[in-house]
Chain A
């Protein structure tokens, strides 16, 4: 019965295309961080679609609609909490994926574009986090929105979209909602498609790969290590990834029951008294030191460094972890980000944008 169903589906959905070979090592969690990120993004899209049915993206209706979601919409409270926890989860998985990919130096030839697509995805996820935190439209959300305006004013023509001067026809909150629910997800999906395409055709760089410049021979394993690599099948990798993903979803579901996401009081303009969502705390810490320019400079420096990594690491030693000075620079940046995050979290709340 199951076999005939499988055959039926295989014939019609060309599932045999998933039977290509991949390195055995991809059955470990560290090689599934990207897949887990993709799964959490799917959860975010699904829960976000539900939330958007109840959300009112106007200054006068947003806060009430979130309260409605929490207190009256069917499963609204739980779905919103899953959405919030998945957003935090994505930050963790994408950061871990980025760090492990960096450690393996998988950005080297011929995978520079794969890396750049990944860095762009991380940037889009960061933007999704900050636009999403504005939508709650409590005091924290309002201050996030005010930061968009302040950042937009600082960057002149580049940031005009984030100011009320862009158009009088649509409120800023409504445009941020549009950005969060259409433009950024569409960009993310396009980047994911490119990322997956490149991984499929260039293969995964494993610890056993020494010749990073070799093209994929079709097995999904590249380089001199390919000859000695045991290979598995992508379908098995996907099944195991599905297993991890579902267990992760169950954990998030339980956490959403135990620690449901709340909302602050309706916003009052003129004060800056809240701190942002934890993934943005390091930027908040930087703003404590540099003022409003911190929110532009910090993320820009990190983004530009990550984009430049494939160009900077020109060492001839192919092994993982042998980055030379680029590795030390990355470590220093990482330590600074963690320190700024702790400073932002533990220090007192300060005004940055002169509201």
Chain B
């Protein structure tokens, strides 16, 4: 029992040491990314700078709530930074993203928020010819159809829904049974 406690204590100490060292390293090198823009159109380039990175190669990933895009690898210069125009692929869905820099050990080193706008938003609004604008918008994916979506409800979810619906229907029917309708009088006097 005592040995177990000692082993457990050692493990916690080691974990604490690893966490402390990691946090200290992150604080010391303070990797950060920034851009002069907070939004970019899909298919366009984003001016991007990085500072405080340790030497090595990083991977830039654009992560949204539903989709993620691996963009490119970045090699850090001797001063621990980088600067270039990041090409955002034209097929990136418009939305809010986090741009993440992952080290080769898959550690998240730096992050920044980024909004991606639809390429057609510019193309369509810049066109002064209504028909050409319509055709351009349709070409860039305008659709009145509905998406095919994998829905979230699981087995437990179906159980909860069944319970709610069953309870509501059952209690409702009981209340109706207990309070019968009284014949409406029509004594229009």
Contact = CB atoms under 8 A, between A and B. Distances in A.
A9 B27 CA distance: 59
A257 interface: yes
Nearest to B154: A74
Interface in A66-86: 67-68, 70-78
B95 interface: yes
B134 interface: yes
Nearest to B96: A61
A37 interface: no
B161 A257 contact: yes
B74 interface: no
A243 interface: yes
Interface stretch (A192-200, A268-276, A283-291, A324-332): A268-276
Interface string A56-70: 101011011101101
A217 interface: no
A236 B176 CA distance: 10
A75 B95 contact: no
B37 interface: no
Interface string B170-189: 01111111111110111111
A139 interface: yes
A63 B172 contact: no
A19 interface: no
Contacts, number: 205
B178 A246 contact: no
Contact of A268 (B65, B142, B149, B164): B142
Contact of A70 (B151, B157, B172): B151
B121 A271 contact: no
B94 A270 contact: no
A269 B189 contact: no
A208 B144 contact: no
Given A60-B117, A230-B185, A250 B168 contact: yes
Interface in B107-135: 115-118, 120-121, 123-125, 127, 130, 133-134
B95 A270 contact: no
Contacts of B173: 243, 247
A240 B157 CA distance: 30
A266 B121 CA distance: 11
Contacts of B115: 60
Interface of A: 24-25, 27-28, 56, 58, 60-61, 63-65, 67-68, 70-78, 138-140, 207-208, 210, 224-225, 228-230, 232, 236, 239-240, 242-251, 253-254, 257, 260, 262-271, 273-275, 319-320, 349, 354
